[in-house]
Structure 1
């Protein structure tokens, strides 16, 4: 229940940020602002697929957990690896965008982009940490069903939120 309350409050935070972004974007005469690089839509679409695949792997881990806890290790590890790939890929994307001139202070787009996408990245890193903790407990035979469920709720929040952020911020 605690994880659900946490996720709900975080959802409200992102709803506020997306609302503010949408209002600013709708009020702009030209969007994106002149002189700002285009966001990498295709590369980020691929990365979105990687993130969704991690959720599928986590679902498979949960299904395996019911029948054979040891069998849940591989899909849980795969979920973590795919999630880590997503975060690293995002970091590489940011380095490229900064090199092209999109910074926190370069424009309203830059400010909102790094605030929204960066906050999501922090949540992804936190959720990955929870998955690592979950995996370690699974390895030791100490993982309870409710602990796996809490980790899933957090990860599914991160995964489910991303396509919305992608659609609003990138497209």
Structure 2
């Protein structure tokens, strides 16, 4: 009898909880899902980015990338400020004893990099439309264009080093290689990330609405691409 009485009390309590949750417009506590589901994904993975109304307004990975890009902007602003300080304080720039920078070749290289932003946008657009094979193809194009950019830049650097422009070539050489070299390292990291995203897309890890990894990689790629014309104008043309 005591056991039956206890069981009856428990059932009445559960019914009361369910009725109360229904009255306030929400499901029972056991049915509430966390804002971020178990398949949220990561910067390299295929999760996240769904249309679940319970999700936060912005995915944690995207928010983290925004914060990273903000810190990168401050970092490059410091480098650009130092370059401008040295540039303005010297009436003759570049110094006459150093070779001229390869303006035309670097312009062509800039066009390659800018076009890679178009292919990255096409890859994102294709994935949103469910065209996985097309998305994989444009991701590969983007990766190849990034490799081409780094290859041409590296080749031009070897030519400059052979004619005497090195990191130890005074302020001119130091500012050139530190500013342009830092950007090249960022492009290299982005290319490696792109290769990983391409491989995972090829294996079917992304799908429409669940492609936060590709989206965050695209954010970073657009950043390094958009930064380069500013550096090209400052270092090669100004």
TM-superposed CA distance for 1:34, in Å, is 2.2
Q: Which runs of 5+ in 1 are unaligned?
A: none
Within 5 Å, give how 1:22-41 maps onto structure 2.
22-41=84-103
Q: Which residue of 1 aligns with 2:230?
A: 164
Which of the pair is proportionally richer in helix?
1
CA-atom RMSD in angstroms:
0.9
The aligned counterpart of 1:114 is: 177
Q: Equivalent residue for 2:75? A: 13
TM-score relative to the length of structure 2: 0.70
Query: Which runs of structure 2 are paired with 1:36-75 in the superposition (5 Å)?
Result: 36-67=98-129, 68-75=131-138
Q: TM-score, normalised by structure 1?
A: 0.97
1:129 to 174, 192, 197: 192
2:135, 2:220 → 1: CA distance? 18
1:147 aligns with 2:209: no
Runs of 4 or more off by more than 2 Å in structure 1? Answer: none
Q: Is the 8 A contact 1:113 1:169 kept in 2?
A: yes
- Runs of at least 5 residues in structure 2 that lack an aligned partner in the other structure: 1-62
Residues 33 and 107 in structure 1, CA contact (< 8 A), matched pair in contact too: no
For these two proteins, the number of residue pairs brought into alignment is 171
